[in-house]
Amino acid sequence: MGGIGDALLLVSLCGLCTFLTGISLSAIATNGAMKGGGPYYLIGRALGPEVGVSIGLCFFLGNAVAGALYVLGAVETFLKALPSAGIFTETTTKVNGTVSEPIQSISTHDLQIYGIVVTIILCFIVFGGVKMINRVAPAFLIPVLFSIFCIFIGIFLAKKDDPAPGVTGLSLESFKDNWSSDYKNTNSAGIPDAEGNVHWNFHALVGLFFPAVTGIMAGSNRSASLEDTQRSIPIGTLAATLTTTGLYLISVLLFGAVATRDKLLTDRLLTATIAWPFPAIIHIGIILSTLGAALQSLTGAPRLLAAISNDDILPVLNYFKVAEGSEPYMATLFTAFICMGCVIIGNLDLITPTVTMFFLLCYSGVNLSCFLLDLLDAPSWRPRWKFHHWSFSLLGASLCIVIMFLISWSFTVVSLALASLIYYYVSIKGKAGDWGDGFKSAYFQLALRSLRSLGANQVHPKNWYPIPLIFCRPWGKLPENVPCHPKLADFANCMKKKGRGMSIFINILDGDYHERAEDAKAACKQLDTYINYKNCEGVAEIVVAPNMSEGFRGVVQTMGLGNLKPNIVVMRYPEIWRRENLKEIPGRFVGIINDCIVANKAVVIVKGLDEWPNEYQRQYGTIDLYWIVRDGGLMLLLSQLLLTKESFESCKIQVFCIAEEDTDAEGLKADVKKFLYDLRMQAEVFVIAIKSWDVQPENGSQPDESKEAFTAAQQRVADYLAEIKETAKKEGTPLMADGKPVIVNEQLVEKFLYTTLKLNSTILRYSRMAAVVLVSLPPPPVSHPAYCYMEYMDLLVDNLPRLLMVRGYRRDVVTLFT
């Protein structure tokens, strides 16, 4: 129907596709040892287990269905050669709408019955193993080669109407008549019929012919049985591709010149009709050729399925696992059932497009694998096959996709949807496997390029993302199998918008690095497992240092690269320090805050972490911000990020501005509202005027619990100062605290205590029922005892169930412009 011109284009297109795929296959197969699984092994190791399994299973189905295709081809040839063997018969008399001599067609029921019998016989041969298959292979190959020889002899000996009407012998006139295309409708048996329900065009011919060039994976399918895959696969695959493509092209030219168009359309076994010395040789050759191809499919498909199962990616495939060197009997049985199911369909033209789609999907995967590996050019990419280039692989992959849509866009969509469903299922249910695939290499190179493009300059506020450094266990005791406070990961997720961003979970082990290196590795693995369990995007890092303070100081200076350094340090408030009498905590706590200030890192300290809600605990009420000092907008940004989470989305934001008593409250309120409007943030603004911090509060102006806490703090501070003064007097040294000289101004200590008391009282008055409170974190006073600072903090957080103390750094994290 397509004529010589379209047939040459068809063979060239399909041959080019398989040749380019063969080049890609040769390059990948010679880049190291190749185990069982053939193209699945190559694609999986190049594009990752998810892509490998999805395409591998589709290729398995393609091979199983192709076995049915070849079986039906052998049975059809047998029944054509021996019509009397048919149990059922059908005839048709219409050729192009005219009455003609009856043309006998084969019954679908005959194809089904004989096809099932042949499939069972082939399965018994496959069950015999590779050795039996190798023994019978010459019995299939030699008659095929002899048949091809007889066909070409017959073409050159043919004359007009000899050996059958419609044969013209090699004729230039026939060549010219058959050059152009003349597509017709056919019935379900493939006989031209003007009223036939099957319409043919070039696209349909591609789908019909392409299975004839799908044998290029036969060698790689048996890669586990090859002695030297790196030599056998390139030479065998490319030699077979070039040889068969050349034979197809020569056959198109010769058959187009040896018979009329009607003879070519109606005689489906013209090769047997024209062969010398008699047709039976061709019948035997076609039958053995198709049976050999079916045997290859039924041999390769089970081994492919067994290779996928042995990689232990999908637990559902565990039934098909086999030991190394054993025969995959269960996989063979499963393949046989699929093959027999397709044989029952009994229609070659319906099965062919399905087979074509699965094979093309596999070929595109091979080409894309080679394209990716060539493009990335990783140090491990050193194939022995040098005749390859990424442009060839890209062209091959593009040709595969184009041919898929040329054949049938509906079949293409279905095959891609099936592969996508398998990919999704593998990504959800499959076990994680790291095969060093090309995607990982691509991510690595992309990360390096992105890091270089970011440079070392500060990121613009519009592009600023929080990168929290989560300090897992600075104080307090957790069970040995719990590497981090359970709620820290929940809080880290609250600092990301729609889950985007990265957290760094850090823990510090005290001791010598050489002695605790293995402990650090085990702890890092445990922490990483915990992060994944909490569905938090982040990485785990364990640092070994002589003590926590030195370890954190090293972390805050060196952690991260370029602009991908952590910019916020997150830790829980040490509520247990007085209860457990942990006297070392004040020095560590103040040291961490001072290190963050020097390193220009923001600080978020969480009080009430045990009560922090998870994603399923919905909160109501307000998110209250007590804005005392300029922090670059970090506190405002955190409140907005909290609103994006389901647990806080029902809350509203309130901003409390703490001002001196003589401040223009209305003017300040208007300025803050305008600022929030420009930032696209909705919040209710309050201005709270408080008397000067130097003035002591009047009696009755503070809640009773605050006054009690204040009195107790005063007494503890006084006792502590008396203790260190007594020690300094005895030892004759300057006033020392935490191993450093300090300066104590008792009037200043009283002022700080009053300040925190007033702020605590204000928060209790306005925000006792708030879902969460954010307040500016006051910096530790210079040359001040850490114990005194902890007393200030305790007084500030007293009776507040859930509080975030936030200190920004010397830059803006929100912008007024979009």
Strand partners, 506: 471, 541
CB 681 within 8 A of CB 673: no
pLDDT of residue 225: 65
- Within 8 A by CB and 6+ apart from 453, the residues are none
* H/E element, 805: strand 803-807
- Determine, yes or no, domain membership for 450: no
- Determine, yes or no, domain membership for 351: yes
Locate 317 and state its tokens.
Answer: 């495939």
pLDDT of residue 818: 35
Single-letter code of the amino acid located at 698: E
CB 551 within 8 A of CB 542: no
The residue with tokens 């059922």 is 88
The DSSP symbol for 777 reads P
Locate 232 and state its tokens.
Answer: 């056998």
pLDDT of residue 374: 87
Q: Are residues 590 and 673 in the same domain?
A: no
Strand partners, 774: 625, 804
Q: Are residues 592 and 637 in the same domain?
A: no
Locate 163 and state its tokens.
Answer: 């050996």
Q: Are residues 416 and 281 in the same domain?
A: yes
DSSP SS3 for 618 = coil
Q: Are residues 266 and 152 in the same domain?
A: yes
Q: Are residues 112 and 195 in the same domain?
A: yes
- Within 8 A by CB and 6+ apart from 349, the residues are 188, 190, 198, 208
Please work out, in degrees rounded to the nearest 5, the angle formed at the alpha carbon of residue 708 by the alpha carbons of 779 and 657: 45
Q: Write out residues in the chain with pLDDT < 70, as ranges.
A: 33-34, 36, 89-105, 130, 188-191, 221-225, 346-352, 432-438, 455-463, 474, 476-478, 480, 498-500, 629-632, 662, 691-706, 810-818
Q: Are residues 137 and 69 in the same domain?
A: yes
- Determine, yes or no, domain membership for 277: yes
Q: What HEC string does 721-762 produce?
A: HHHHHHHHHHHCCCCEECCEECCCCHHHHHHHHHHHHHHHHH
- Determine, yes or no, domain membership for 455: no
Q: Are residues 588 and 631 in the same domain?
A: no
Among 684, 626, 635, 587, residue whose Cα is nearest residue 800: 626
* H/E element, 462: none
Q: Are residues 383 and 466 in the same domain?
A: no
- Determine, yes or no, domain membership for 766: yes
- Determine, yes or no, domain membership for 439: no
- CATH classification of the domain holding 567: 3.40.50.620
In this predicted model, what pLDDT tens digit does every residue of 709-719 receive, in sequence order? 788 888 888 88
Going 202 to 204 to 208 to 211, the CA torsion angle's sign is positive
CB 77 within 8 A of CB 270: no
pLDDT of residue 83: 80
How many structural domains comprise the chain?
Answer: 3
Q: Are residues 638 and 594 in the same domain?
A: no
Distance CA 448, CA 462 (A): 22
Q: Are residues 584 and 555 in the same domain?
A: yes
Of 381, 411, 429, which closes a domain? 429
CA 170 to chain centroid: 57
- Determine, yes or no, domain membership for 230: yes
- Within 8 A by CB and 6+ apart from 486, the residues are 534
Contacts made by residues 458-465, CB under 8 angstroms, sequence distance 24+: 458/563, 458/811, 459/563, 460/815, 461/633, 461/811, 461/812, 461/813, 461/814, 461/815, 462/815, 462/817, 462/818, 464/813, 465/500, 465/501
pLDDT of residue 392: 93
Going 219 to 221 to 224 to 230, the CA torsion angle's sign is positive
Distance CA 325, CA 812 (A): 65
- CATH classification of the domain holding 40: 1.20.1740.10
The residue with tokens 């990504």 is 427
pLDDT of residue 316: 84
CA 475 to chain centroid: 38
Q: Are residues 638 and 765 in the same domain?
A: yes
Structural domain that includes position 501:
460-607
The DSSP symbol for 318 reads G
- Determine, yes or no, domain membership for 452: no
pLDDT of residue 335: 92
Q: Are residues 76 and 159 in the same domain?
A: yes
